Every structure is written in C-alpha cells, then in structure tokens.
Structure 1
Amino acid sequence: MILSFIIFLGMFALVGVSSVLRSRGTKKDYYLASSSIPPSLVGLSAVATNNSGYMFIGVIGYTYATGFAAVWLMAGWILGDFLGSIFIHRKLREATQRTGEVSFAGVLSNWNGKQNLLLQRTIAVISLVFLLSYASAQLVAGSKALHVLFGWPNWAGATIGAVLVVLYCFSGGIRASIWTDGAQSVVMILAMATLLIIGVYSLGGMEKTIAEMGKVDGFLDLFPENLLLPGISGGILFAVGWAFAGVSVIGQPHVMVRFMTLSDTGKMRRARVWYYTWFTLFYVMSTGVGMLSRIYLQDPGSFDPELALPIMAVELLPPYLVGLVLAGIFAATMSTADSLVLSCSSALTHDLIPHKIEKPYLLKTGTAVITFAALGWALFNKQSVFSLVIMSWSGLASAFGPLLIYLSLGGKPGRIRALLAIFSGLAVALGWRILGWETTIYEGMPGILVGLAILYFPGKSTQTNKKPA
C-alpha cells in the first residue's frame, strides 16, 4: 500500500520538477506559463483543480449522509458551471491578453483600460484570505486520508502535501502545477472508477446494490428532508441553489487562471470539451461511490463521514489498489492546493506590494510563505472539509462573480459601485451561513444576486454598453 502510494507521488513530483526545463524566468511565465498551455491541459488542469479533496472527502461524506438526493447537488453544480462558462471564459482570456496583467485581481481591475489600484488591492486581500482557507481545507483532506490508511498523525499528511506544493511551485510555477494536474487527473479518475466497479461487483451487481440501498430508510428518496419547500418545488429550489454553486466557479481565481493560460483564445471550446467530459464522468462516479459507502459502512455515528472513502477502500481493495485510491485523494488535494497557493502568491507579490516583485527568487519566497501559512491554518482547523470549502467557494463567488459577469457583458462600473457590489455580495453570503440558512439554499445564490442587483441598479456611477463587448 505504502509502496504504490510513494510510487505515484514520485511520479507527480517528477512531472512537476521537469517543468523547470521550460521555465522562462519571468513573472508572466511563473504565474501564467506565458499563455502557452494547449487546450487539453487547460481543461484537465482546470477540472482537476475544481474537483479537489472536496470531491474525494467532502462530497463523498455529504452523499453518505444525504443519499440519492445528493444528485441534485451534482446536477445543479455541473449545469451552473457550464452556463457560466458559455461567455465568461473567453472574455477573461481576451481581457488577460488586452491588459497584460498576470493576476485575476489585475485583470478585473484593469478590464476597461483604466488602472484601479484600490479595486485591485481589495480583490487581492479578499482572495488571499479565502484562498488560504481553501488551501488549508485541501491539506486537511490529505491528512484525513493518511490518518485512516496509515494511522499517521493528522499533521503528517498536511505537512507532506505542503512540502510537495512548495516543490512544484519552486520548479516551474503554474506550468508545474498544470503539468502535474494533467497526470493527477488520470489517477483521480482511475481511483474513483476502481472503487466504484469493485464496490458494485462485491455486492453482486447493480440490481442487488440498489436493493441494499433501498434497505436504508430514506436513502433513495429524491429530495432531502430539510428542504425549504416540500416535494418537487423544494427540490428544484435546492438544485437552482447549487446551480449557483456551479456558476460560482467564475469567482475562483485559482480555477479561472487556468483559462487565462490558454495558448489561443480561439481554442477555448476545445478546452471546455476536455473540462466538461472529465467533470461529468468524475462527479457521477463520486456520487455513486458516496452512495456505496453507506452500504459498506452502515453505522453513521461510529466515524467521520468524510472518511468514508478511505475506510471503504481499505475494506474492499488489495493494498496496491488502496495505494492508488490514496494517491488519487492526494492528487486531488495537491492539484487544488498548489493552484490556490500560486493565486495567493500572485495576489501578494503582484497586487498588494507597492513595488511589484519581478525577481524569480522573490516570487518563490512569497509562494513558500503562503504555503506554510496555509499549513498552519490546516493544523489548527476544526471545521469539516465540506464546510470550509463551501464557505471559501461561496465567499469568493459572491465577491467576484457578479463583477466578472457584469464586465463580460460590457459593463463599466464605477469604482464605488464595484466595491459596493463586492462587499455586499460577500456580506450576504457570510451572513446567510452565520444564520444557518445554507442547509436549505446555497449561500452563494443570494450573495451573487445581491452583487448583480447593485451593479445593475440604475445610477450615474455605472455605464453599460448596449452590446456585449
């Protein structure tokens, strides 16, 4: 088990380190790979970054507890993600080329050709806080898996993940991250497919598997019990809420920067084909494994549901395949963690420091500082991976999603209007969570809607082109 795990980790490290051979030693290359990445790698990297330890640990745990109704989360998320990508991704890539900026905050704040340092630094500070939180969740996810499978203390997995992230980022920046994402995406989908196939086979096939699930009270119900409205109306509202979670990907700097690295804007459709093919297949299998885990682990109160996948792997698989599953979990956490760390680093060295850093060794030093800050957060974290990721995801989406949508449709918001939309959307999302309403409707939905309402509210401080830019 340990041997196969180490072999896979060694492969990832080798892929990442080899990217140093293509490094050009510039800031644009470190943070955007000189906009030279082919569409296949852009798609696989973006989807591996999106489908992180949250999917292996968080979604599996959520499905274990919720049952078949978790399909609403899957359907809503994928549909919302797709709808958001139809016009946003291409516009962002065009704006990246037009502005010459290397960070998400830089592109948004300079979108219409006028520099706005206050807006840029505001976006950078919010990004830094929530992306650090998000990165810590990825390290926690990896540590949970190692704790279950090897009995290692929780700090061990988080530390190993942090060291590997630093190694990738020191080697080739975002190019190392994207190259390893490509390799990791293959291992992630193989690990999930292996567990799904063997799990169903061990129960005697699909028909018997479904029969076993039917024995768990309410497990095959189409709608969760705690919906805001009863029946199908509540289910639709629940799905629409999670569709906003899918749309929320446009507010995630660590994912959207992947599309900013594309070699040619005209190849965006090919990148999206790679992205959504892999995304749909992986999410379907993850939901299936989450449901299987309830059959194999029938005492919900005896363990942390977010540990369902690694525990089930130990029970079902031979040691070398357990190593594959663990490598898949670790691959997922690292593919997102290194992306988050690089986005934080760009916010720090490009957007926040008055004299923008250009020297490679200083960029890498900034990356190391961010990584170990995320590690410290992970070691003292008490929240679940699912809760921490959703909080970070919805916060970023509510802050930046409305502004990116508005800009992509040709809007030209004034500085005050843009800042008001950012802070109002963020405040509503956080307030929604504090009040405990996120269990009925995803908190990013009201946050995004409030931000859009402020940007589109009639007033002299905002000008909008008649035709989309």
Structure 2
Amino acid sequence: MFNIEVIIFIVYLAVLIAIGLYFYRKTSSIGGFLLGDRGLGSWVTAISAQASDMSGWLLMGLPGAIYLGGLSEVWIGIGLFFGTVVNWYMISSRLRVYTERANALTLSTFFDHRFKDPTKALRIISAIIILVFFTIYSSSGMVAAGKLFQVMFGWDYTVAVIIGTVVIVFYTFLGGYLAVCWTDLIQGMLMIIAITVVPVLAIIEMGSMDGAMTMMAEQGLSTSLFNGGLSVVAIISTMAWGLGYFGQPHILARFMGIKSIKELPKARIIAIAWVAIALVGAILVGILAIPLFPGLSGGAQETVFMLMIRRFFPAWIGGIFLAAIMAAIMSTIDSQLLVCSSALTEDIFEVFSKKKPTDQQVVLFGRLAVIGISIIALFFALSPNNTVMGLVSYSWAGFGAAFGPLVIFALYSKKTTWQAALSGMLVGAVTVVIWKNVGLSSVMYEIVPGFILNCVTILIVNLFTTPDASIAAEFESVVAEVNAK
C-alpha cells in the first residue's frame, strides 16, 4: 500500500522523466546531447555544477564522516570550499574559450587538440580513465540510493538500487546534457533547502549545540579543528580533497557548456554561495546527529540525515526532503553517465570508426553507452557493505591526480608538450591505484602523491621535449580573448 512518502517520490520521479522526454525532442545532434550546444545560462550552470559535484556524498557521506570522526573531518569541507572557489576563478573562463576554439565536446578531445598529440594516445587513454573511475563513482550513488530506500520504505537493498538506477538512466538516455542540467537545477534547489532547514530544526529542539559537543568529547571525538591528535599530514590529506576539482570531468563540462564567459561572473557567485551554505549545513547535521542517534556504525552513520528528516517532519513534508536526498544522488550519477557516454562516443567510437558516423548514429551510440555503463556500475553497487564515502574518495582522487595537473598546465603553460601531458596523466593515475591498494591511504589521501608526481613528471618531461610551434600562438590568442572579455 502506498503511503504519502511513496506518492511524493513517484511524483518527483515522474517530473524528472517528463524533463527527459521534453528534451528528447530538442536533442538531435551530438553537440546537443553531450554539451547542450553551449547554450546554458548562469543559474543553470552554477547550480547544476554544484549539485552534480556534491551528490549523495554531501547529505550522507560528509555527515557520516563527522558523526564518526568529529570536527577533524571538517577539513574536508574546508578543502572542498577553497577548491570550488579556485576552480571557478582559475579554470572556468579559459576552459570555456579554449574548448570552443578546439570544438571539443569532451575533456579528452580538449587534451588531444590542446597538446597536438599525433598518436591520439592522450585522448584514448584519458577516455579509458574516465570510464574506469566514473563507473566506480556512479556506483557510489547507487549505493546511496539503496540505503535511502531501505530507510524510507524498508525495501530490499538490491531492489532499491535497481529502481533508482532505472529512473536515472531513463531521463539521461532521453535528454542528454540539457535534461541532466535542468534536472540538476531542480535537485540543487531541493538540496539546499533541505540541508538548511533540517539542522536549524535540530538546534531548536535541542536548545543549543552544547549537548552535541559534550557527547563528542565523551566519545573521544575531536571537538575542534586542531585537537584529537590531528597531525599536519592529516590536515593536508583531508584538505587535499580540494585538489580534485581541477580534474573532475562532470564539473568541468559545466564550464564548457555555458552560453558565454560573460555569464561566468554571476555563475561564480551563485555556485560559491550554494557550496558554502551546503557544506555548513552538512557539517551541522553530522554534529547534531551524535546525541540524537547514538551508536551508529558499519555504514549506518551515513543515514543520519534521513533519520533527522523522519524525526522532525510529518510524512508529506518529510517525503519532499527525502526526495532531496534522491535529488543529490541523481544529480551526480546522471552527469557521470553522460560523461562516460561522451568518452565512449566522442573519444573512442569516433576515433576507431572506419568512416565518420552521422550525428544520429553517434547520439544513438551515446544513449546505448549510458545503459551499458549503468549496468556495470550497478554490479559494483549491489554490495550493501560499500560506503558512499569510500567509493567517492577513490574516484575523486583518480580524476584529480590524473587530470587536474593536465588542466592547469593546459590553461597556464604554453610550453607543455603532449609527451609531458601523457606521461604525467599516466603517473598520476597509476600512483592513485597503487597507493590505495597497498594500504597507504591511511597515511595520506592518495590524491596528494598522485597530483604531485603528475606535476613533477610534466615538468621533467618538458625539459626534454619541445611543443608544436602552433601551440604557443593559440595559447596566447586564447589568453588575450579571455582578458578582453
């Protein structure tokens, strides 16, 4: 029998599917399917970028980390905030102009054009890296969806994961980039309302935060940013999450798809404000949950936001806010699936195709790729023992270490060669995988050594190679265009 929460969810999911159907008629070219024909305004760009960035991690992973680790985990939020700010100010304008100049619809195509790689290895290998890490990243959202439906309706975990995946795949399959961005706008607004209202009500009920801080101290959790034996290495490791922004394809795609760089100043303000409010809200949820729901562990700590909603709201309002969690989950998975589709179509299918495919063939292949990647990610997600935080941290590090330095050098160094870019990317990605699998993540987050070794490799290889003569001229032209606007 359907209760009010189920009805609200059905209505919400129906709206998302309707958006996919609407944009299906407006998406006939590969440029439209993958990048919305570069026609989005500042509000849609800003909110969709941040909604796709934060995902279920914001409403589940971060509060859960605070719940178990105390205020020492706040350094992750601080790193993410500064990473967001720097990304919007350093990367957005130059990437928007450069990718349009290169007629690049994907990050891999941009690397290929920017560094003039005659072998196409940079384009193909970067696409493979995207497929590997985004498959893992997408599975984190499916895990979050399974946990959400378990708490809400008592559904079997496997059934819950499959239902959530089918809806996301459906509207992404139909509407492509435009459907993803417009649904992300709706979902981003739901997320920011929920993450603001819920902790405020918790504080009102408790009278103050003193009880939460006292219980944190009693449980041996850190009650300030610098206590609990937190070392300098640990602070660097947690703040290093901010480095990941420079290499996240689903976020960078928003910079590439905005209508004009003249829209970016307004978009920056909107995005930064959204992130600041969202991170503070998520941190408060984690702190306040400690006295409200003691004793959670084994992944259950990632459900504290849902438990708060259930505690403070009647079913019909709670259903709306619980939909916000699903919104957070969907807003990232849809973007990741689209980027995977882009990698398969633009950077692998077209490169190896014997004759140039038509737009209709490429769009069809892109839609089928969404389904294929989803099925693989679904298998990763079917284990309920996986945590959202664990899956996200690995994928985030993979992209940040492999692509982050490449993006920075591409936009700020005219002397970087394709050999240096390819070598650095491989070193960064391999370092993350090895560091993680030998167990060194407990010492230092794997993004740090991966990012550093990538940069060092690029600098060393640049000493022994010379870039194509046309690279410097194009670089100076792009910089001049950005400065002129």
- Would you say same fold, with TM above 0.5? yes
Aligned partner (choices 245, 249, 254) of residue 253 of structure 1 = 249
* 1:334 equivalent in alignment to 2:343: no
CA displacement at 1:142 relative to structure 2:
0.9
Q: Aligned partners of 1:303 and 1:200: how far apart in 2?
A: 24
- 1:355-374 equivalences under 5 Å are 355=353, 357=357, 358-359=359-360, 360-374=363-377
Describe the shift of the 1:88–1:9 C-alpha distance in structure 2 as closer, same or farther (beyond 3 A). same
Contact 2:127 2:344 in 1 (8 A): yes
SS at match of 1:61: helix
SS at match of 1:411: coil
Q: Aligned partners of 1:362 and 1:102: how far apart in 2?
A: 15
CA displacement at 1:9 relative to structure 2:
2.6
CA displacement at 1:192 relative to structure 2:
1.6
Letter in 2 for 1:247: L
CA displacement at 1:465 relative to structure 2:
5.7
Match of 1:18 in 2: 22
Describe the shift of the 1:334–1:303 C-alpha distance in structure 2 as closer, same or farther (beyond 3 A). closer
Comparing 200-209 with 361-370, greater Cα deviation is found at 200-209
Letter in 2 for 1:332: A
Q: Aligned partners of 1:383 and 1:301: how far apart in 2?
A: 13
Q: Aligned partners of 1:202 and 1:7: how far apart in 2?
A: 31
Q: Aligned partners of 2:269 and 2:119: how far apart in 1?
A: 35
Match of 1:111 in 2: 114
Deviations, residues 33-65 of structure 1 (Å, cap 9, x unaligned): 000000111010000000101111211110110
CA displacement at 1:252 relative to structure 2:
1.0
Match of 1:410 in 2: 413
* 1:49 equivalent in alignment to 2:52: yes
Contact 1:124 1:352 in 2 (8 A): yes
CA displacement at 1:206 relative to structure 2:
4.4
CA displacement at 1:462 relative to structure 2:
4.7
CA displacement at 1:85 relative to structure 2:
3.2
**Structure 2 unmatched ranges of 5 or more:** 480-485
Contact 1:82 1:246 in 2 (8 A): no
CA displacement at 1:396 relative to structure 2:
1.1
- 1:269-348 equivalences under 5 Å are 269-301=265-297, 304-348=300-344
Q: Aligned partners of 2:212 and 2:228: how far apart in 1?
A: 23
CA displacement at 1:413 relative to structure 2:
3.3
CA displacement at 1:116 relative to structure 2:
4.8
Describe the shift of the 1:272–1:462 C-alpha distance in structure 2 as closer, same or farther (beyond 3 A). farther
* 1:389 equivalent in alignment to 2:389: no
Deviations, residues 106-144 of structure 1 (Å, cap 9, x unaligned): 111211456551110000001101001100111111111
SS at match of 1:460: coil
Q: Aligned partners of 2:214 and 2:234: how far apart in 1?
A: 26
The TM-score normalised by the length of structure 1 is 0.92
SS at match of 2:221: coil
Contact 1:200 1:209 in 2 (8 A): no
Letter in 1 for 2:441: E
Identity %: 27
Match of 1:455 in 2: 458
SS at match of 2:389: helix
Comparing 365-374 with 201-210, greater Cα deviation is found at 201-210
Contact 1:83 1:247 in 2 (8 A): no
Describe the shift of the 1:438–1:34 C-alpha distance in structure 2 as closer, same or farther (beyond 3 A). same
* 1:433 equivalent in alignment to 2:430: no
Contact 1:138 1:334 in 2 (8 A): yes
Aligned partner (choices 143, 166, 172) of residue 169 of structure 1 = 172
Q: Aligned partners of 1:433 and 1:70: how far apart in 2?
A: 20
Match of 1:140 in 2: 143
Match of 2:262 in 1: 266
Match of 2:103 in 1: 100
SS at match of 2:382: helix
Q: Aligned partners of 1:317 and 1:302: how far apart in 2?
A: 26
Q: Aligned partners of 2:304 and 2:449: how far apart in 1?
A: 32
Comparing 42-51 with 239-248, greater Cα deviation is found at 239-248
CA displacement at 1:67 relative to structure 2:
1.2
Comparing 457-466 with 308-317, greater Cα deviation is found at 457-466
Letter in 1 for 2:47: L
* 1:88 equivalent in alignment to 2:91: yes
Q: Aligned partners of 2:118 and 2:97: how far apart in 1?
A: 17
Comparing 244-253 with 77-86, greater Cα deviation is found at 77-86
**Structure 1 unmatched ranges of 5 or more:** none
